[in-house]
Structure 1
Amino acid sequence: MKPFKAPSVVSAQSSHASQYAATSEPPAKKRRISSNDSTDNKIEAVTAAANFLKKPKPTKRFQAPAQRKPLDVVDNPSGSSPIAAPEKGSEGYFTVLWRKFTAKKNKTWDGDGVLSVSGGYASLQDISGKEMGRTACKGPLLVGSELSVGGKEIEVESMIPKADFLAGRPFLGSMKKQPAPVPSLKEIDEVSRVTNKAQAKHDKIVASQKDKPNVEVAASKASKSSFKAPLLNNTVQAPKRDSVVPIPRHNPSAEGSLVMKRPRSVPKGKQIVDVVIDPILTKNLREHQRAGVAFMYECVMGMKDYDGEGAILADEMGLGKTLQTIALLWTLLKQNPIYGDAPVIKKALIVCPVTLINNWRKEFRKWLGAERVGVFVAENNKTRLTDFTMGKSYSVMIIGYEKLRMVQADLQKGGSIDIVIADEGHRLKTAQNKSALAIKSLNTERRIILSGTPIQNDLAEFYTMVDFVNPGLLNKYTTFKREFETPILKSQQPGATAKDLEKGEARSSELANITGMFILRRTAEILSKYLPQKTEYVVFCRPTTAQASVYRAIIGSPTFNAALGSPAISLELINVLKKVCNSPTLLLKKSAKGEDITKPALLECIPQGLLRTPGASGKLQVLDSLLHQIRTMGDEKVVLVSNYTSTMDVLASLLNSLDYKYLRLDGSTPANKRQDLVDRFNRSPPSKDFVFLLSAKAGGTGLNLIGASRLVLFDLDWNPATDLQAMARVHRDGQKRPCFIYRMLTQGALDEKIFQRQVSKTGLADSIVDGKSGASGFSKEELRDLFTLDESPDCQTHKLLGCKCGGTGLLAPEPLEEPSPARNDLASLGQDDSGFVSLDDEAPTEVIHMDYDSDGEAILPVKPKIKLQKGNQVDMTAQEAEIERRKRECIDSAGKTKMLSLMQYAHFDTALIKARAEQKPEGASGEVFWGDEEPPEPELAVETADPLEAAIEDDALRNVLREDGARIGFVLTKTST
C-alpha cells in the first residue's frame, strides 16, 4: 500500500559496470575483523553498526555510490609465523599430520609423519621411517599448509632442523619409556601352539606379579634396640634421635669415601640423604672401578638424560666388572637416597654362564664375607627356589642361563625381582634368545649387561642388547633398521655419495650419543700401573712339506670349484682347511667316523700316507719346542687354548708323549668341578700341573688362571672377541709375573687369512658395525683368495701392510705431519729415499726445502726446471701398476685402514737370523768380527748387534727361533707396560 515511486534514471547495474570498466578490477572486500585486532577497533565497529541501525530509512531516491579507491592490502597476522619451504635445490624438513582421503564430515588424522623437501619435491615418511609417497612442491609451506602426497592429505605442523633430521631424531619418537612387552608363552617355550588354559595361567601370574605391592614390615623399637651388629668392622653410622638432618648409613666425609649422585627431586615431605659406598668395598676399589660404580648407580636410578633404568658395562677383561657389580648391589640392598624409605632393591638376580657360578659365589664371600649378605646359588635340583623367592635369608640369587629357562615360572610366582645382572651378556644378542625372553618375563625394569667384548659387532645384535636393557629406547627394529642401520651401512660402501656420507655419519654420531649415556667401555690399558708387563707374540709357523701337500690336494680337488658357488660347501671346506692348519691327522680321525659326506670325497685326492706322517703339523712342532724351553728354563706354567675338542685331543696326546702333567677343561667337564680345577691349577707347582688345557668356548670367559704366566692360543676364531677373552685368562688381578701370550697360525694358509680378518674387525672398532661375518659374507673372489696357499718365504700380512720396516723387529716411526700445500704437488709425484722426486730416469729434481735467514725471514729457493717426458716414451703398463699400488697403500679419508692396528706391533722377519748366521765365520759367537779386524767403534755397535736380541725379549721364544729348520717365518710383537 506504499505510494508509487518512479525508478531512478541511472541503474545500479550500469553504475557497477562503469566502475569495473574504469578500474578493470573488482572492488576490494572489506577487511575482516580478526581475533587479534585491538579492543578499541572492535568497540568502534560495534558502535558504528548500532548507530546505523537506529537511523531512519532514507526517503530520497537511491543514488549510485561514488567511485572509491580499493582498500589497501593489510597483513592478517596469525598465531605462528609462516615457514616457507626452501627454493628448488635446497632442503627443508617438517613434522606433519596425515590421513587418507575421506568424505566424512568430521575428519580425523591417521598419524604423524615427516615431510622432507628437496630439489622441488616433497617426500612423506611415517614416524617409523616408511616411505609413503612423493610429489612436486613448488609453493612455500607454512604452518597449517595442506597438500596431497601419495594419496594422503597432510597438514604441516612444525619445522625440523636439518641436523635433527640427519641424526634421525624424529624417528625415535619422544623417547618416552614404554613398558616392556611381556613375552607370550609361545615365545618363551618356542612352540607354535599352547593351550588356552596354560596361556591364561601364565597371564594370571604376570598380572599378579605386576600388581603385587611391596609391603615393608616395620620392626618394633624393642627389636631395634636389642639388635647389635655382629660384624667386626662395622662402618654403619648409628642414627641420632631427634635429628633434623638425615644421617647417612656411612660417613660421607671420611677419607676415600665414595658418595653417589643425589636425585634431582624428592617426594613431598621427604628429605634426601647421601648414599655412600660401604668403606669395606671402597678401600679395594680402583679409580676406574669407582667411576664404574657411580655410572651404573646413576643409570639404574634413572638419573641420566635418557628415560630408562638399564646399563651396559662393557669394560675389557680384567677390569673388575664383578667387584663393581657387587659394590652396586650391596649399596642398593642397604640404602636409598630418600631418607626413611626402604632400600632401593630387595632381591637381585645374577644370570651367568654355568662356568662362572662358583666364581661369583667366591667373589661375594671374598669382598663381603659370609655374614653380610645371603647368596642363593641355583646349581642343582636339590635347592628349593622358594628359599629365595619367599624367604628373607637370601637377597642375591646366582643362576646359569640354561637353568633360568627351567625355573622362570617359579620365579614369577615369588616376590618381585628388582634388578637383573646378565654376565657375559653378549649371549643375549638375538631377539628370540630363550634366556633373554625368560629375563623379560620377570618384568624387571632395572637390567645390567656385563660384557668384556665390544658389542658393536653387528648393528642388529647391538639393537637387541640395547633394547634388552632399555626397551623401546631405539623404537622398533624395523624403524631402527630403516633409519639407522641401512644409512650407516650405505655410507660405508666404496661408492657412497656425499649425501649418503653426511647422513650416515650423522646417524652414527646420534646413535653413539644416545647409547653413550648408558654404555661404559674402558680398555685394559688402565691396568698398566697395577699389573706386570704383558707381551703378545703372533707366531707365523711355516707348514711342513706334508702339510702343504695335503693343502694343495684339497684346494686342487673338484670340490674346491663347487665350494665357490655354494655357501654350505664353502663353510665345510673352511672347516676342513682349519683342521689341516692345526694337524692333517685330524682329517684321518674325523673321516674314520664317517660324520660328513664331503670329507671322503676330499680324502680321495689326498695320499693316505700324508695323513699318517708323524710331525706333519708345523704348529705342533713349534709348540713342542716352546713347551720344552719353558719347562727347562724356569718354574712357569702354561695355559694351552683351542677352539675345538678334536684339536684338544691331539694336544693332549702331545702332552702325554712329552710326559707333561696337565689339567683339562672343556664342554664335557661337569659344572661343579670346573672351579675346583681352576683352584687346583693356581695352587699347584709346575711339577704337578704344568699345562692347563682349556676350551675357548667352554671356559674362555671369566676364569682367573693367574697360576700361569704364559698362554698359547693354538688356533684362531673368526670372532676376535673369542680370542681376546681367552688371552685374558692369565693377565688379571693377582698376577705377579710378566705374562707372555703366543698366538700361533700357519703362514700363507687359511690361518693367516682368519688373522687378517680379525685385525680388520679390530681396526674398525671405532665404528658401530662391521657388515661381514662368516662364510656367507664372502664374495666369490674373496673365497678364491681365502683358499689360496701362499708358499713364498715372505709374510703375506706384512706385504699387505706395505710396511717399510724391513722386518727388523723395531716399531715403525710415528707418521710425520701432513705436507704443507707447497709440497703437495711434489709429494704426489713420489719421493724416493734419496730425497729426490723421480720425474724421469735422466733428470731427477731435488725436493724443495724452505730455509730461513738469521732474522727468521724465509729464503725462497730457485724453482728447478722440470723435464717432461714424451708421450711415446711413457711405459703405460708400469704407470698403471704404480697407480694401483698407490691406491692399495692409500688411507681413506675416514682413517679406517683395515689393518692399521697391526702398526702397533713390531715386525720381525726370521730370515735376518739366517742372514746373520751366514755372515759369521765358523765357530764365532757374540759379535761379528773377521780375521784381524779391529772391534767396531761404539757408535757402530748397533749395526753389529744381534737383531733377534733386540726384537724378542722372551728367552724361550728366542731359543726356538735359533733352532735349525726355520719353522717360524715371521713374528709380530706387542708389549704393554
Structure 2
Amino acid sequence: MKRPAQAPRGKQIVDVVVDPFLSRHLREHQRLGVRFLYECVMGMRSYGGEGAILADDMGLGKTLQTIALLWTLLKQNPVYEEAPVIKKALIVCPVSLINNWRKEFKKWLGVERIGVFVADEKRNRLTDFTMGKSYNIMIVGYEKLKKFQDDLKKGAGIDIVIMDEGHRLKTAQNKSMMAIKSLNTERRIVLTGTPFQNNLGEYYTLVDLVNPGSLQKYTTFKRQFEGPIVKGRQPEATTKDKEKGEARFQELTSLTDMFILRRTADILAKYLPPKTEYVLFCRPTTVQASVYRSVLSSPVFGAVLRSSEASLQLINILKKVCNSPNLLSNRIDEDKENSNQTIKTLLADIPPMLLKSPGASGKLQVLDSLLHHLRTTTQEKVVLVSNYTSTLDILGNLLSSLSYKWLRLDGSTPPNKRQDLVDKFNRTDAANCFAFLLSAKSGGVGLNLIGASRLVLFDVDWNPGTDLQAMARIHRDGQKRPCKIYRLLTQGALDEKIYQRQLTKQGLADSVIDNKANASSFTTDELRNLFTLDESGRCQTHELLACPCEGRGVPVMDAEAPDSLDSNVSTDDEDELPSFPNLIKASQYDAEAQERQAKERRNQASKKQGKPSMMGLMQYLHLDTSRLASTPGDEERSAGDEPEAAVDDDVLLDMLKEEGNRVAFVFAKTSASVLD
C-alpha cells in the first residue's frame, strides 16, 4: 500500500501489505481497487475527504475488494506500534444480500479469522457487537439500520461504513442515509454497479454522502453543473449550450475522479467465457393485438392521456398485455377497489373471452419453444427474469405444465431462505432443477446464479441498469460455459418502445444524465406515441436506425451503405489525406490524422443513420428471420449471404427455423473472450 507522506512526531512509518492469504486470489484490477480504496479512506488523496465510491460493473469482485480492504484495516496500521486503523466495520446492504456477504466472508477468511455479526438474527444481541471483542464486522439491511442507529454509537463506535448497492440511497431525506450520517464516521464507501441510475441530483446525493461538501451545496451544484449539463444534452440545445455543458461535465468528472473508481465488465473478457445477447422481437398473437386495440380504442382513452396517474396505470396495463393478456383477467378481479374510474371503465371495455384465451401471448409461445429445445438438446439450465410476480406465476405454470422442475425467488421469499435457494440451484443438475424464476427488483442484484448459462429477460424495465443487473447474475466469476441472454420484446407494442427509450436514455445515463421514467417525464405527444400498436410487421427499431444491412445478419460495415452517408463529409480540407487506395510516401503518412478522418466519417454517418443515441445497436448483427426460410438456391441469397451465421446458438437457430415461429427479427451481439 501507499505510505503516508509523513509520520507523526516520534513515530515510524512501516509498510502495510495485504495479507497474502487474500492477495493471491486478487486479479490485477482488484489489486488496483484495494489500493484505491485504501488511499481514499486513509485520506491520502487530494480531495480532503475519507470516502469513496467503487462503481465497478457487476461481476468484477467489489465484495472481495472490500473484504481485502477491511481485513487490512482491521489488522494493520502504517504507523509503527499503533493500533489497527479500524476496530468495527458496518456493512449495510439490501436484505437479499445479507447471507451473500456472510458467505463471502466465510469463503475468503473462514470462521476462525474474523467474527461477523448479522443483525437480522434474533438470537444475536447487538451489544455483542458494540461492546464485545468477538465481532469486528456487522451486516445489516437498509430497512433495519434506523432501528439500530442509536445503539451503534455506543462502545467504540463504527469506524467505517460500507453501503452495498448504494444507488438505493437516492435522496438526502432517505432514512437509511440519515442513519448512516448520524454514525459520525468519515470513512464511507458506496459500492454500486449502476452508479448513475436516474439524474444528477441523485448522483450529487451519493457524492455528498461519501465526501460531504466536495461538490458544495446542492443549489450551487445545480446552478454550476446540473443545469448546464442537462441543458447541453437536450435535442434543441445550441452549440453554445453543448460546449458549456460539456465543459461543466468535464469539470465535474475531474472533481469526482479522485474518489470514484469505475471499471467495465470488459476487464472480465480474459477470465470468463463469451456472452451473447439476443434481442428477440416477437410477433403478438391475434388475441394480443385485439386486446391491445380494445384498450387503445376505448372511449375513455383521451381522458387517460390527460391524467398522469391514469397514464402510468395504462402503461402498466399495456406492459402486461405484452407479457400475456391473461394477466389482465387477474387485474380486473383484484382491482375492484381501484379508485380510478377511468381505468375501471377502460378495462371493462375489453371482451372477457379474449383475456381467458389460452396461448394468447406471443412471448410465451416463443419461451415455450425455447425451453423445449434447450431442455431436450442440452444439459444447460436457465434463469427467467420478470418485473412482475404475476408474470412469474404464469412462467411457473408453464414450467409445471412441461414437467420441468424449478425454483423461485421474489420479494416474498424470506431473506434467510434466499441463499439456500441459490445454492441449491447452482448444485443441482438440469434434470432435477432446470429453471430459476427471479424477480428483477428483489433478486436482480448480488446473486450468483452461475449454475445457469442461459437467461431470459421476459420483460424490459424503463431503467437499463435493472436489466443489466439481472443479466449479470449468470455471467460472472465461476461461470464455465458460454452465456446466452435472450431479451423478449413484443414487436410494435409498448415493449419495443420502452426498449427504444431505454437505449436513448442509456447513453445519457453513461454520462451521468437523466434516466427517470414516470408519467410526468412524458409529453402528451410522447404518450400518444407510446400508446400505439405498429402492425406493419416491420421491425420499427431497425427502421429507426436506418441501417443498410436489410436484416441480412451481416456486420453493418459489410453492408452496402447508401451513398448519402458520405455526402456531407468535407473534402475541401487542405490537410486531408488522400483516400486509399491512392499511394502516398511513407513520410507523408500521419496515423493520427488518418484516424481523425475516419472518426469524422463515422460521426457524419451516425448523423445520417437514425437516432445517434441508438447507435449502440450498430454493434449488433440484425437478422430478419424470414431470411432463414430461404434455401441456398434462392435468388434472394447472394454469395456470402448466410443469415444463419448471425445466430451462434444451435438452440435458438433450431427454434427460429420452426414453422410458425413468432420471432420476426433478431439483434445479436457477442462479447469476445480470450480464454484458451
Rounded to whole Å, the distance in 2 between the matches of 1:314 and 1:676 is: 28
Aligned 1:645-684 pairs, distance under 5 A: 645-684=389-428
Rounded to whole Å, the distance in 2 between the matches of 1:285 and 1:961 is: 42
Q: 1:318 aligns with which of 43, 54, 59?
A: 59
Q: 1:694 aligns with which of 423, 433, 438?
A: 438
Q: 1:748 aligns with which of 485, 492, 502?
A: 492
Distance change in 2, residues 1:699/1:613 (3 Å): same
What CA deviation, in whole Å up to 9, does each residue of 1:780-835 have, x standing for no partner? 111111111011121000000111011111221189999874369xxxxxxxxxxx
What CA deviation, in whole Å up to 9, does each residue of 1:375-423 have, x standing for no partner? 1111233210000000011111111111212111111223211000000
Which residue of structure 2 lines up, in the alignment, with residue 738 of structure 1? 482
Measured after TM superposition, the shift of residue 966 of structure 1 is: 3.7
Rounded to whole Å, the distance in 2 between the matches of 1:416 and 1:707 is: 40
Distance change in 2, residues 1:333/1:852 (3 Å): closer
SS state at 2:645 partner: helix
For 2:626, the aligned partner's letter is: A
SS state at 2:556 partner: coil
Distance change in 2, residues 1:651/1:771 (3 Å): closer
Q: 2:344 aligns with which of 597, 600, 608?
A: 600
What CA deviation, in whole Å up to 9, does each residue of 1:212-239 have, x standing for no partner? xxxxxxxxxxxxxxxxxxxxxxxxxxxx
Structure 1 residue 729 corresponds to structure 2 residue 473 = yes
Does structure 1 conserve the Cα–Cα contact (< 8 Å) formed by 2:88 and 2:158?
A: yes
Measured after TM superposition, the shift of residue 349 of structure 1 is: 0.5
Return 5+ residue gaps in structure 1 as ranges: 1-259, 825-847, 859-887, 921-926, 931-939
Measured after TM superposition, the shift of residue 486 of structure 1 is: 1.2
Q: 1:337 aligns with which of 70, 73, 78?
A: 78
SS state at 1:376 partner: strand
Distance change in 2, residues 1:337/1:959 (3 Å): same
Structure 1 residue 800 corresponds to structure 2 residue 541 = no
Rounded to whole Å, the distance in 1 between the matches of 2:613 and 2:584 is: 46
Aligned 1:462-611 pairs, distance under 5 A: 462-593=203-334, 594-596=336-338, 597=340, 598-611=342-355
Q: Higher helix fraction: Structure 1 or Structure 2?
A: 2
Q: 2:22 aligns with which of 275, 281, 284?
A: 281
SS state at 1:413 partner: coil
Rounded to whole Å, the distance in 1 between the matches of 2:235 and 2:480 is: 48
Rounded to whole Å, the distance in 1 between the matches of 2:428 and 2:531 is: 44
Aligned 1:698-713 pairs, distance under 5 A: 698-713=442-457
Measured after TM superposition, the shift of residue 959 of structure 1 is: 1.2
For 1:822, the aligned partner's letter is: T
Q: 1:911 aligns with which of 621, 626, 630?
A: 626
Which residue of structure 1 lines up, in the alignment, with residue 595 of structure 2? none
Structure 1 residue 957 corresponds to structure 2 residue 652 = yes
Aligned 1:239-278 pairs, distance under 5 A: 260-278=1-19
For 2:56, the aligned partner's letter is: D
Measured after TM superposition, the shift of residue 766 of structure 1 is: 4.1
Rounded to whole Å, the distance in 2 between the matches of 1:468 and 1:854 is: 57
Measured after TM superposition, the shift of residue 483 of structure 1 is: 1.9
Normalised by the length of structure 1, the TM-score is 0.64
Distance change in 2, residues 1:771/1:722 (3 Å): closer
Distance change in 2, residues 1:819/1:286 (3 Å): farther
The structure with the larger Rg is 1
Structure 1 residue 401 corresponds to structure 2 residue 142 = yes
Which residue of structure 1 lines up, in the alignment, with residue 667 of structure 2? 972
Which residue of structure 2 lines up, in the alignment, with residue 242 of structure 1? none
Aligned 1:630-641 pairs, distance under 5 A: 630-641=374-385
Rounded to whole Å, the distance in 1 between the matches of 2:483 and 2:581 is: 50
Does structure 2 conserve the Cα–Cα contact (< 8 Å) formed by 1:591 and 1:599?
A: no
Measured after TM superposition, the shift of residue 929 of structure 1 is: 8.7
Rounded to whole Å, the distance in 2 between the matches of 1:501 and 1:536 is: 33
Structure 1 residue 902 corresponds to structure 2 residue 651 = no
Which residue of structure 2 lines up, in the alignment, with residue 452 of structure 1? 193
For 2:188, the aligned partner's letter is: R
Normalised by the length of structure 2, the TM-score is 0.91
- Give aligned pairs, total: 646
Greater CA deviation, 508-517 or 561-570?
A: 561-570
What CA deviation, in whole Å up to 9, does each residue of 1:168-203 have, x standing for no partner? xxxxxxxxxxxxxxxxxxxxxxxxxxxxxxxxxxxx
Measured after TM superposition, the shift of residue 688 of structure 1 is: 1.1
Q: 2:521 aligns with which of 763, 777, 783?
A: 777
Rounded to whole Å, the distance in 2 between the matches of 1:371 and 1:384 is: 20
SS state at 1:969 partner: strand
SS state at 2:162 partner: strand
Which residue of structure 1 lines up, in the alignment, with residue 592 of structure 2? none
For 1:909, the aligned partner's letter is: D
What CA deviation, in whole Å up to 9, does each residue of 1:574-629 have, x standing for no partner? 00000000000111111012243444311332222111111000000000000000
Rounded to whole Å, the distance in 2 between the matches of 1:855 and 1:377 is: 71
Does structure 1 conserve the Cα–Cα contact (< 8 Å) formed by 2:15 and 2:78?
A: yes
Does structure 1 conserve the Cα–Cα contact (< 8 Å) formed by 2:450 and 2:473?
A: yes
Which residue of structure 2 lines up, in the alignment, with residue 822 of structure 1? 571
Rounded to whole Å, the distance in 2 between the matches of 1:276 and 1:336 is: 10
Which residue of structure 2 lines up, in the alignment, with residue 719 of structure 1? 463
Measured after TM superposition, the shift of residue 359 of structure 1 is: 0.9
Structure of higher RCO (CA pairs closer than 8 Å, 6+ residues apart): 2
Runs of 4+ in 1 over 6 A off after TM superposition: 814-820, 848-856
Which residue of structure 2 lines up, in the alignment, with residue 374 of structure 1? 115
Which residue of structure 1 lines up, in the alignment, with residue 633 of structure 2? 928
What CA deviation, in whole Å up to 9, does each residue of 1:328-386 have, x standing for no partner? 00000111111121111010000111111111111111111111111111123321000
Distance change in 2, residues 1:391/1:788 (3 Å): same
For 2:221, the aligned partner's letter is: F
What CA deviation, in whole Å up to 9, does each residue of 1:549-569 have, x standing for no partner? 110111111232112222111
Distance change in 2, residues 1:472/1:354 (3 Å): same
Rounded to whole Å, the distance in 2 between the matches of 1:752 and 1:309 is: 44
Rounded to whole Å, the distance in 1 between the matches of 2:300 and 2:398 is: 32
Rounded to whole Å, the distance in 1 between the matches of 2:137 and 2:227 is: 42
Does structure 1 conserve the Cα–Cα contact (< 8 Å) formed by 2:463 and 2:516?
A: no
Rounded to whole Å, the distance in 2 between the matches of 1:414 and 1:902 is: 55
Measured after TM superposition, the shift of residue 773 of structure 1 is: 2.9
Rounded to whole Å, the distance in 2 between the matches of 1:348 and 1:371 is: 18
Rounded to whole Å, the distance in 2 between the matches of 1:817 and 1:889 is: 7
What CA deviation, in whole Å up to 9, does each residue of 1:6-38 have, x standing for no partner? xxxxxxxxxxxxxxxxxxxxxxxxxxxxxxxxx
Rounded to whole Å, the distance in 1 between the matches of 2:264 and 2:418 is: 28
Distance change in 2, residues 1:724/1:282 (3 Å): same
Does structure 2 conserve the Cα–Cα contact (< 8 Å) formed by 1:663 and 1:693?
A: yes
Rounded to whole Å, the distance in 1 between the matches of 2:511 and 2:284 is: 36
SS state at 1:380 partner: coil
Give me the identity figure in percent.
66
Rounded to whole Å, the distance in 2 between the matches of 1:547 and 1:499 is: 48
Rounded to whole Å, the distance in 1 between the matches of 2:393 and 2:273 is: 33
Greater CA deviation, 767-776 or 901-910?
A: 767-776
Aligned 1:180-199 pairs, distance under 5 A: none
SS state at 2:248 partner: helix
Return 5+ residue gaps in structure 2 as ranges: 589-602
Rounded to whole Å, the distance in 2 between the matches of 1:340 and 1:275 is: 12
